[in-house]
Amino acid sequence: MASKVIHALYIDDDVLMDAVKKVRSEHYQIEEIYTPFPVHGLDKAMGLPHTRLAITAFMYGCVGLTVAILMMNFIMIEDWPQNIGGKPSFSYIENMPAFVPIMFELTVFFAAHLMVITFYMRSKLWPFKEAENPDVRTTDDHFLMEVDAGSHDVDQLTNFLGGTGAVEIKVIDKEDDNH
């Protein structure tokens, strides 16, 4: 089933922020906002939940630390505890200072890379992905707000959006599956 959405274009981020607040206070459903650059505070104005990426990074870091400890404990202490330059390879703790640089680096490595990959997966980004850009100008100097028009009076909604400072308003018939 095709659904109706309205694309409202703005040319100023302050106007956009005000518009977002007005649209939300009228309880219209904002589907998406496209901006050429990060607009500070936009997520808060839209009421988006806080990201949990930092929490995943902490957990990935713990995984990296564990990998480093288990790896070096097996290689250096359990599998072949050689005497290398008189370093005490009797137990992990006795030789730990020598392992700390690797423990640190693997913690950072796992935390950083797995967090980035998580980000790509959550935001559905990959090299041959088809761009989901509704209007090419939004990557340059325009801001686009996509409002769900499904159960509302379209004329009333376009008038309302015009009042919030939109420079251009389009009504779009959108297939459900291309979103």
Partner 1 sequence: MYTLSNRLRLFSFILMIVGGIGLIYGFLSTPKSVEEVKEMMAAHDAHGGGHGDSHAKAEAEHGGEHADDAHGGDAHYEHTLHQLQNKPWASLYVAAFFFFMIALGVLAFYAIQFASQAGWSPVLFRVMEAITAYLVPGGIIMFVILALSGFHVNHLFVWADPEVVAHDKLIQGKSGWLNGTGLMIRAAIFLGGWLFYRHFAVKFSRKQDEDSEGNKWYKKSFKWSAAFLVFFIYTESMMSWDWIMSFDPHWFSTLFGWYVFASLFVSGITVIALMTIYLKSKGYMDFVNNSHIHDLAKFMFGISIFWTYLWFSQFMLIWYSNIPEEVTYFITRIEDYKLPFFGMLVMNFIFPLLVLMNSDFKRVNWFVVMSGIIILCGHYIDIFNMVMPATVGESWFIGLSEISAVLLFLGLFLFVVFTALTKAPLLAKGNPYLEESKHFHY
CB of 98 to partner 1, least distance (A): 6
Check residue 171 for interaction with partner 1 (CB under 8 A).
Answer: no
Cα 146 from Cα 143, distance rounded (Å): 10
Check residue 54 for interaction with partner 1 (CB under 8 A).
Answer: yes
Q: Is 33 helix (H, G, I), strand (E, B) or coil?
A: strand
Check residue 108 for interaction with partner 1 (CB under 8 A).
Answer: no
- What lies within 8 Å, CB to CB, of 89 at 6+ separation is 76, 77, 81, 82, 83, 95
E strands within 15-68? 30-34
Q: x/- contact string, 57-76, with partner 1 (CB under 8 A)?
A: -x------------------
CB of 107 to partner 1, least distance (A): 11
Check residue 100 for interaction with partner 1 (CB under 8 A).
Answer: yes
Find the binder of partner 1 among 39, 67, 98, 114 (CB under 8 A): 98
Q: Nearer Cβ to partner 1, position 60 or 160?
A: 60
Q: Nearer Cβ to partner 1, position 97 or 127?
A: 97
- What lies within 8 Å, CB to CB, of 107 at 6+ separation is 61, 62, 64, 65, 68
Check residue 97 for interaction with partner 1 (CB under 8 A).
Answer: yes
Q: Which helix (H) or strand (E) holds 174?
A: strand 168-175
Token pair in block for residue 134: 């509704």
Count of residues of this chain found to bind partner 1 when the rule CB under 8 A is applied: 6
What is the CA 43 to chain-centroid distance, rounded? 11
Residues that bind partner 1 (CB under 8 A): 54, 58, 86, 97-98, 100
